[in-house]
Amino acid sequence: MSAIGTVLVTGGTGQTGRVVTDLLHRRGVYVIVASRNHPREPLTPGVRHLRFDWADPATHDDALREVDSIYLLPPPLDADPVNVVDGFLRRARDAGVRRTVLLNSSAFPLRARGLHAVRLTVQQLPEWSVLLASGFMQNFVGTHPTAVAVRERHEIVAAAGDGRTGWIDAADVAAVAAELLTRADHDNREHVLTGPEALAYDDMAATIAAEWGLPVRYRPVTAAERTVQLTEAGLPRPFVDALVGADVLTASGAEDRVTTEVAQIAGRAATSFAEFVRRHRG
Ligand SMILES: NC(=O)c1ccc[n+]([C@@H]2O[C@H](COP(=O)([O-])OP(=O)(O)OC[C@H]3O[C@@H](n4cnc5c(N)ncnc54)[C@H](OP(=O)(O)O)[C@@H]3O)[C@@H](O)[C@H]2O)c1
């Protein structure tokens, strides 16, 4: 086993958590995967699953036992997770947790409370990193509403105008997290993580059309229209607000940027959208 000690991976069965777990395990780190449900696939021998629920503080102390570092995924779909995460991090500090790497989104408007406020709490810890990740390319595959609209209606609908985003592969986010959880020379810092290019939805529709052979088009709508659509589709209100908020920020040009943090930290080129789409053909 490595000298890093035990890492607790919250959301360890999710898109980034699975990859973080795998990368840490391959480095010889002892990993505890924390989530409400046991993963469907068997875990790699040596990796342990622990039932952990943000909504059930009775599960929190067990998760922190003999843990040195945490990959922190705040409760998904909770628009104001500060109180529950604050309490957990206080316990973490008392339990001797040294390092925390928080996953957060760069596309949520900065406000005192809400999703971004967790950032400020994490920064009270001895060693911390905050990952401000751009939109995940994974939103175009699987069960995400964007992916469903692409497959079933051949359209991308958003209130993002012609704003661009530096879309990123969630696996690249995970690679950065694994590195920051294990590197010796740590500095407490925020990292804006993007893919290699900033793309508008028109560009993405064209790439998907070319690679998947689907006549995909981008249909821009207003923020109010998008809110109604997503609400009528049955999405929970905090998720609707987060998605539409991200669109509005994108339309303003705030997400039109590219950083080199993935290459600098993970030591490999960030995946391009064309490459990602090619890999997910079919
Ligand atoms: N999608 C994007 O474009 C984007 C961009 C930037 C940042 N992000 C951030 O990425 C985060 C999602 O990360 P991801 O994609 O790696 O995760 P994910 O695939 O959405 O999976 C969520 C994970 O959290 C666990 N979970 C859900 N509710 C929980 C609860 N109440 N208590 C404990 N665990 C719970 C899930 O397992 P169980 O259900 O079994 O508990 C699962 O392991 C979001 O918070 C978002 O802010 C997303």
Write the residue with the smallest CA distance to atom 15 of ligand 1: 15
pLDDT band at 236 (very low <50, low <70, confident <90, very high): confident
The pTM for the full model equals: 0.96
pLDDT of residue 226: 96
Distance (Å) from CA 262 to ligand 1 centroid: 20
Residue 33 lies in a domain: yes
What is the total count of domains within the chain?
Answer: 1
Residue 60 lies in a domain: yes
Which numbered atom of ligand 1 lies nearest the CA of 77?
45
Q: What angle do CA 72, 74, 76 make, to 5 degrees?
A: 135
Distance (Å) from CA 282 to ligand 1 centroid: 25
Residue 190 lies in a domain: yes
Residue 280 lies in a domain: no
Residue 48 lies in a domain: yes
Main-chain dihedrals φ then ψ at residue 65, nearest 5 degrees: -65, 125
Residue 164 lies in a domain: no
Distance (Å) from CA 238 to ligand 1 centroid: 14
Residue 45 pLDDT > 90: no
Residue 109 lies in a domain: yes
CATH number of 262's domain: 3.40.50.720
Domain that holds residue 182: 7-134+169-194+257-270
Long-range contacts of 20-27 (CB under 8 A, 24+ apart): 20/71, 20/174, 20/177, 20/178, 20/181, 21/47, 23/174, 23/175, 23/178, 24/178, 24/181, 24/182, 27/2, 27/178, 27/182
Is the Cα dihedral 169, 165, 251, 153 positive or negative?
negative
Residue 41 lies in a domain: yes
pLDDT band at 151 (very low <50, low <70, confident <90, very high): very high
Which numbered atom of ligand 1 lies nearest the CA of 13?
43
Write the residue with the smallest CA distance to atom 18 of ligand 1: 14
Write the residue with the smallest CA distance to atom 35 of ligand 1: 35
